[in-house]
Amino acid sequence: MATAIDKQKHDTNLQRTTIRRHGLMTRITHWTWAVALFFLLLSGLQIFNAHPSLYIGEQSGFAFDNSVLSIRAVRGADGNAEGLTTLLGRPIDTTGLLGVSGPEDGRTYQAFPAWLTVPSYHDLATGRIVHFFFAWLFAAAFASWFAASLINGHLRCDILPTFSDIRGLPSSFVEHLRFRFHHGRSYNGLQKISYAIVLLVLFPLMILTGLTMSPGMNAAVPLLTEIFGGRQTARTIHFAVMLLLVGFFAIHIFMVFAAGPINEMRSMVTGRYRIDREAGEGGTER
């Protein structure tokens, strides 16, 4: 009972004030990334379907046994096609999801179903054109964001976690699990660490491994191939980073709705964000 009373008193002491939280460059690059990553994902799955296996090392093909993931259709014991995903040598029946999918009268025999690819039909050439266009758009947006964030201090002040942020990580994690969100002027420690990993680790990895898979870049900058242990390893890392970004996106969208979608969306459209402020605390609405 005492806890409920204390929480009620705390809530009544909270006022709301609006600040300008996100600058124009942050908002532009945020939505550019959102669009680019959407088309990169779907066109990337189209490209993966052309050779639905991942390897470690420089070489790949029928004569090599270095596959770490493959998704294909096989003939089952009853003579019907089945979806088979092999992960690190372990076979998994994925009929209906991967390898073989779709209704009985319109089966799709490819790694990822047609509704998850751009184009929705098998067209590797178009898939590559779409993928490369949005890949360069994504890279240009990242370069613009990184340069602007260094100049205006956004990277140092809002993204890179401090020792205090790291020390408060356990309590921040617990608060998120309990769906208790404090709308402050800056990101909390959990947000900073998450965004730092995505922006400073996953995004560069996605760009660099994509360049490593380009024969032209192999000739121009052979060091990239050496760093990633071969084009096939780079392709595998590229795919793994894609999965991590999809997972981050799902959690990100869930947290936006949990924390208040109107306030969160407004901050990324207009830059204005409504925060909590203790009664009596200084500051005026901006």
Q: Is residue 67 part of a domain?
A: yes
- 46 and 59 inside one domain: no
- 58 and 21 inside one domain: no
Q: What gap in Å lies between CA 124 and CA 104, rounded to an integer?
A: 25
- 99 and 230 inside one domain: no
- 182 and 232 inside one domain: yes
Select the more confidently predicted residue: 58 or 262: 262
Q: What pLDDT is stored for residue 221 in this prediction?
A: 87
Degrees to nearest 5, angle at CA 247 with 243 and 251: 170
- 263 and 126 inside one domain: yes
Does 51 score more than 90 pLDDT?
Answer: yes
Summarize the confidence of residues 36-60 as an average pLDDT.
91
Contact 55, 67 (CB under 8 A): yes
Does 10 score more than 60 pLDDT?
Answer: no
pLDDT tens string 217-246: 888 888 899 999 989 999 999 999 999 999
Q: What gap in Å lies between CA 202 and CA 249, rounded to an integer?
A: 13
Does 7 score more than 50 pLDDT?
Answer: no
Number of domains in the chain: 2
pLDDT tens string 167-178: 988 888 888 888
Does 286 score more than 80 pLDDT?
Answer: no
- 44 and 134 inside one domain: yes
- 207 and 155 inside one domain: yes
Q: Is residue 8 part of a domain?
A: no
Does 211 score more than 90 pLDDT?
Answer: yes
Does 12 score more than 50 pLDDT?
Answer: no
Residue appearing with tokens 């470690």: 56
Q: Is residue 245 part of a domain?
A: yes
- 47 and 57 inside one domain: no
Q: Domain containing 255 — which CATH number?
A: 1.20.950.20
- 93 and 164 inside one domain: no
Q: Is residue 1 part of a domain?
A: no
Classified as helix, coil or strand, 168 is coil
Summarize the confidence of residues 110-121 as an average pLDDT.
93
DSSP 240-262: HHHHHHHHHHHHHHHHHHHH-HH
Q: Which of the residue ranges 32-41, 215-224, 248-257 has the most confident prediction, judged by mean pLDDT?
A: 32-41
Across 36-62, b (16+ Cβ under 10 Å) vs e yields bbebbbbbbbbbbbeebbbbeeeebee
Name 272's bridge partners.
20
Q: What pLDDT is stored for residue 246 in this prediction?
A: 97
pLDDT tens string 62-100: 455 678 999 999 998 888 899 999 999 999 999 999 999
Of 111, 131, 151, the position where a domain reaches its end is 111
Q: Which residues contact 184 (CB under 8 A, 6 or more apart)?
A: 275, 276
User: What is the domain range of residue 102?
Assistant: 53-111
- 75 and 206 inside one domain: no
Classified as helix, coil or strand, 81 is strand
Degrees to nearest 5, angle at CA 26 with 21 and 27: 85
